[in-house]
Structure 1
Amino acid sequence: MRQFIIASHAHFAAGINESVSLLSGERDNVRTLSMYVDGNNDLAAAAAKMLDETPEGDDLVVCTDLFGGSVNNEFTSIVQRRPNTYLVTNMNLPLLIQLLFAEEGRDTAEVIREICAADDTRVKFVNDLIEDTEDDEEF
């Protein structure tokens, strides 16, 4: 089974998980880690606790808020030493929804690569999309 950790600076992880839950329902396999707020300042200890709570043998997908940030960097070191752990950064709501609904029996790394490459999960500048549509309508 896949387990998920949504981790961020401040309350972003909890907030985006609230949105995910609203759209897809509560999930037992998703946990959040909000760092540097509410006295939660020991990142290494908090990450270790999350790992200890992950059933052995399960794949663990960690989604972080910011590439190069302290939260992502901590999990980068964990991925290098913990098998079946996958790290995705610069997370957004479409990415999380697609990850959570991905077919359970498929290879986790393959699923993550496909979702990260999909146009649906990429950031979009809507003004340019509107302009492209207007240009198309003129012909």
Structure 2
Amino acid sequence: MNQIILASHGELAKGMLQTVSMLIGETKNIYAFGSYREEQSIAVKVRAQLHMFDSADDVYVLTDIFGGSVNNEILGILSEFPNVTLLTGMNLMLVIGIASQTNKIAQDTLATIVSESQNGVVNCNKLIEEKMGMEMDDL
């Protein structure tokens, strides 16, 4: 089974889980953890959740920002869990792409999901200008 852990600074991961649940329905295999200055390390919380999974599960941990404290803490425990794939730069398209896969995700499929989530970031003003030859003020 695929398991997904969302980990972020503050409430982003919890909000992401709430939004994904609203869009695709109940999500029994997605867990959200936030990091706060006054609490224990997020790695402690994530490690505890990872120990709850079956060793045959494929686990995807999605963090908010590369090089941030959350991502760095998860990198620090990655060697303990060979069935974990860590992805950073979490966005809604990435979470839905991973969550919509029910079977083991092949590496080429994962690469497509990551690419599509990256391509989902669009400057709409620039797109309109390019496609329609219009300035935003002309609309």
Q: How many residues align?
A: 134
1:27 corresponding residue in structure 2: 27
State the secondary structure of the residue aligned to 2:133: helix
Matches of 1:98 and 1:48, distance apart in 2: 24
Which has the higher mean CA deviation after the structures are superposed, 40-49 or 54-63? Answer: 40-49
Aligned: 1:60 with 2:35: no
Structure 1 residue 115, shift from structure 2 partner: 0.8
1:124 corresponding residue in structure 2: 122
The alpha-carbon distance between structure 1 residues 81 and 88, as it changes in their structure 2 partners (threshold 3 A), is: same
Structure 1 residue 6, shift from structure 2 partner: 0.5
Matches of 1:133 and 1:119, distance apart in 2: 22
Aligned: 1:71 with 2:73: no
Matches of 2:117 and 2:55, distance apart in 1: 33
Matches of 1:119 and 1:19, distance apart in 2: 16
State the secondary structure of the residue aligned to 1:3: strand
The alpha-carbon distance between structure 1 residues 120 and 10, as it changes in their structure 2 partners (threshold 3 A), is: closer
1:1-139 alignment runs, 5 A limit = 1-36=1-36, 40-107=39-106, 109-118=107-116, 121-135=119-133
Structure 1 residue 120, shift from structure 2 partner: 6.8
Give the unaligned 5+ runs of structure 2.
135-139
What TM-score results when the alignment is normalised by the length of structure 2? Answer: 0.85
Matches of 2:74 and 2:62, distance apart in 1: 9
CA contact (8 A) 1:102 1:111 kept: no
